[in-house]
Structure 1
Amino acid sequence: MKPELQAYALGDRLQTGHRATVHHAVRTTDGRAILLKVLEPEHSRPQDLERLRKEYEVGHALAGLAVVEPLALSTFEGRPALEFEDFPGAPLEKLVGAPMPVGDFLHLAVRLAGIVADIHERGVIHKEIKPGNILFAPGSGELKVWNFSIAARSTRAQPPPRPTRLIEGSLPYMSPEQTGWMNRSVDSRSDLYALGVTFYELLTGRLPFDARDPLEWVHCH
């Protein structure tokens, strides 16, 4: 799909990453409030543009589920961008740091497990389930998953071992088969592993492992 040419009024940042930033924004052509993910030119790579396209395509394949809906590929000040529906929430990572009350956790965990199951039913593996990729609206309690930039269709393909600098995903949440450390295929169970790490972090306020460098993270799991 060819990117659309739009103008935007940017608001607060929702999320800041090394290669992309997400802003609350208003599309000036029609006044619609959206979320706008913009690649950072200093750090983005050619494959990040392809990931942006994948995120758009996978998001459309998951229409009707509790995922943040992508609206259009676009540009902002000459940089590749992706529009999403507006969502009145924040990344779940903002709740991490103190143990979550058990009752609140169970209510959230049951719904989140159901969302991940629905994604798998559509034949998609997220490959980066973590609190930063889950949006939570405290007022309504609504949850939505997003950031499908490295998602894959369900297969049992076994990835070859790769240098840690080339591994896709977030190492603190990553299953050993996803890093290639374990001689197993990557399938939906990799998401369940990451979901388990996420649940542990929400319940305890910390990750199950500590590491000082990427190679140590790989050996922790």
Structure 2
Amino acid sequence: MINELIALKVKEEQLKDSGSLNHHAFNDITDLRNTLTASLPPESRAEIDHVVSGFVHDFLNGSLANSGGFQQSDEPAITALPNPVPGAITPTVLDNTPPDIPGDVGGFEAGEDIAVNTETPVHEGHWSDSIYFSEDGSDVEKIYSASGQPELREIRRPAFDAWQEDGIPDTDYTLNPHAYNSLFKSGRKDIMPDDVLDALSSNSMPGENGSLKFVNPVTGTRVFVNPKTKQVVGIQPGDFGD
């Protein structure tokens, strides 16, 4: 807006200096000025008009450079600057190609297990015990406990339903009805699928009544398997007594 007001003021002063009697031109300038400042309060319009008038006066009288105090009084005034020549300024093109890192130093292999502090918070209300890097290299959080969070407890049932029907991933076992039902009873409501899977990935040991016992080394959760039927028949949290 200021640039337009300055242009109008310059045109108005040029008409005055030339002794023009073209009242239509003066009226057009006034109308355009009022349109540009219509949304401003009266005091702001008056202040802007004062500043623009002073600027144009100094510009037309060759004293613009000295009016701001940036030059000494005996220095020649700059009355105008030439317009830049189109295309004269060549833009700088930056190369955003990431540098090569010899040998991918510091990277992680896909599928690699990374041990972390068991008291490292991942998000509010949950403590992660490990981080797993999936085949595509992205890190996937392992969640061993729902910690009473309803949104985590809700995702347990679909997984355990699938274990009954289709078997437990990466094992030869299925989840029998007794073990399935126990997972939704007091004391076991926070056991997450990752907890059971990591228990089953450990070495087995003799359990009760000829069963095999698997223990998650991080949480202590115990999983009992009938070796004859290949079914998980019991799951106990780590704080349950032997």
Q: Fold match, TM over 0.5? A: no
Q: Which has the larger radius of gyration?
A: 2
TM-score (ref. length: structure 2): 0.26
Would you tell me which structure has more strand in proportion to its own residues? 1
